[in-house]
């Protein structure tokens, strides 16, 4: 009897994981549709997941598998995301940009929180949006969320807003490029230092040429590099915040996936392509796998979103991060 129960639970666990990947597939297909092709697979999948939750409710039978995607696959995606960070390139060519990247991150988080306080917006969502704007979008939000003990719903809302807002800004940059008095490399730095995700940087910078795209990605990689020290800062403040009146501290779980992120960054920077030859096709495949894992995880988060709460709690943070993003674009324009 127990063996049959375990088999049934395992089947439901697998079904839950498969369910998140199925909606991820629907998001991939929806992202091919005109209009949705501008917001990408990640945001499209979250939209489908949130819509499913409103129409059919949360699939309780599949909760174990969905939770696995949300927690474990999310961490695996962040670890693999480390391969996108070439530390060698950052240290060799990007140190000059790194100081300005620190300013960008501090500005994005600080201004978003100040505006959120002024607007009486939800501070948890606003914090995640500030991190996503300052660092590297969905991956940064996903990395910081467990440290600051954000709810799954808040994380999903933050990721969805960043994905859509970043896309709007990336398209806006491409429209502004011909009329701005910037050299291609200056435009690339502007894009890399101010746009939300790597994909948004690539969309905006590619039309300006290969040199612009290369410097844009370098500027963005500096912000990705700063994700780890930023997480350590949050750990420090969360430990201080959790300190009880008796002087004892509540346990803050160390995000070990960040160690994996660093190790994969080192592996990709100094081993792959050096000691171990690797083709562009293999790297592209790893990048695609990372996207699918992250999308499946975001589906699990999206299934936790109540549309009523979304409308009640997301509008003011959205206004705050939109204003921040505009101010950030202006600030970076004048410091490049």
Residue range 311-332, pLDDT digits in tens: 778 899 999 999 999 999 999 9
Whether residue 202 has pLDDT greater than 70:
yes
pLDDT bin (cut points 50, 70, 90) of residue 252 is low
Q: What pLDDT is stored for residue 250 in this prediction?
A: 53
Average pLDDT of the residues in 21-39:
88
Phi/psi region, residue 209 (left: phi>0; alpha: psi -120 to 50; beta: rest), is left
> ∠59-62-65 over CA atoms, to 5°?
135
Of the listed ranges 50-59, 81-90, 243-252, the one predicted with least confidence: 243-252
Q: Where do we find the tokens 């293999």?
A: 282
CB-CB contact of 295 with 48 (8 Å): no
Whether residue 192 has pLDDT greater than 90:
yes
Q: What is the mean pLDDT of the chain?
A: 86
Average pLDDT of the residues in 70-93:
81
H/E element holding 68?
Answer: helix 63-68
Of the listed ranges 23-32, 112-121, 137-146, the one predicted with least confidence: 137-146
Whether residue 275 has pLDDT greater than 80:
no
Whether residue 259 has pLDDT greater than 70:
yes
CB-CB contact of 108 with 328 (8 Å): yes
Whether residue 69 has pLDDT greater than 50:
yes
Question: How distant, in Å, are the alpha carbons of 102, 108, 309 from that of 148?
Answer: 20, 17, 20
Q: What pLDDT is stored for residue 40 in this prediction?
A: 77
pLDDT bin (cut points 50, 70, 90) of residue 230 is very high
Tokens of 176: 């502004």
CB-CB contact of 287 with 279 (8 Å): no
pLDDT bin (cut points 50, 70, 90) of residue 85 is confident
Whether residue 249 has pLDDT greater than 70:
no
Question: Which residues are within 8 A (CB) of 88 and not within 5 positions of it... i.e. 6 or more apart?
Answer: 269, 270
Whether residue 277 has pLDDT greater than 80:
no
Whether residue 64 has pLDDT greater than 50:
yes
Tokens of 41: 């697979």
Average pLDDT of the residues in 165-174:
87
Q: Where do we find the tokens 């990247």?
A: 101
pLDDT bin (cut points 50, 70, 90) of residue 48 is very high
The pTM for the full model equals 0.79
Q: What pLDDT is stored for residue 246 in this prediction?
A: 47
% the chain with pLDDT above 70: 91
Q: Where are the domains of the chain?
A: 2-335
Rounded Cα gap, residues 160 and 137, in angstroms: 10
Q: What pLDDT is stored for residue 122 in this prediction?
A: 94
Whether residue 238 has pLDDT greater than 90:
no
Whether residue 257 has pLDDT greater than 80:
no
Whether residue 50 has pLDDT greater than 50:
yes
Phi/psi region, residue 236 (left: phi>0; alpha: psi -120 to 50; beta: rest), is alpha
Whether residue 114 has pLDDT greater than 70:
yes
User: Which of residues 310 and 313 earns the better pLDDT score?
Assistant: 313
Whether residue 245 has pLDDT greater than 70:
no
């Amino acid at each position: 009897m127990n063996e049959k129960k375990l088999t049934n639970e395992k089947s439901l666990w697998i079904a839950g994981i498969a369910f998140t990947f199925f909606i991820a597939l629907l998001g991939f297909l929806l992202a091919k549709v005109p209009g949705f092709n501008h917001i990408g697979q990640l945001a499209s999948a979250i939209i489908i997941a949130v819509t499913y939750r409103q129409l059919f409710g949360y699939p309780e039978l599949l909760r174990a598998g969905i939770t696995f995607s949300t927690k474990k696959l999310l961490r695996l995606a962040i670890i693999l995301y480390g391969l996108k960070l070439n530390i060698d390139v950052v240290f060799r060519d990007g140190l000059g940009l790194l100081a300005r990247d620190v300013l960008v991150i501090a500005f994005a988080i600080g201004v978003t929180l100040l505006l959120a306080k002024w607007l009486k917006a939800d501070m948890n969502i606003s914090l995640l949006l500030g991190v996503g704007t300052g660092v590297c979008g969905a991956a940064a939000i996903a990395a910081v969320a467990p440290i600051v003990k954000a709810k799954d719903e808040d994380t999903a809302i933050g990721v969805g807003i960043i994905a859509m807002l970043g896309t709007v800004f990336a398209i806006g940059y491409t429209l502004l490029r011909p009329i701005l008095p910037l050299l291609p490399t200056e435009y690339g730095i502007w894009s890399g230092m101010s746009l939300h995700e790597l994909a948004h940087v690539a969309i905006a910078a590619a039309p300006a040429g290969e040199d612009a795209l290369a410097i844009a990605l370098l500027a963005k990689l500096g912000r990705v590099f700063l994700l780890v020290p930023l997480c350590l800062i949050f750990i420090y403040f969360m430990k201080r915040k959790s300190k009880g009146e008796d002087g004892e501290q509540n346990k803050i779980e160390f995000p070990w996936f960040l160690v994996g992120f660093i190790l994969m960054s080192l592996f990709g920077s100094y081993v792959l392509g050096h000691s171990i030859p690797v083709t562009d096709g293999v790297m592209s495949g790893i990048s695609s796998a990372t996207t699918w894992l992250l999308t499946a995880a975001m589906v699990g988060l999206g299934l936790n979103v109540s549309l009523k709460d979304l409308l009640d709690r997301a509008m003011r943070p959205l206004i705050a991060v939109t204003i921040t993003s505009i101010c950030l674009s202006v600030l970076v324009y004048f410091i490049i």
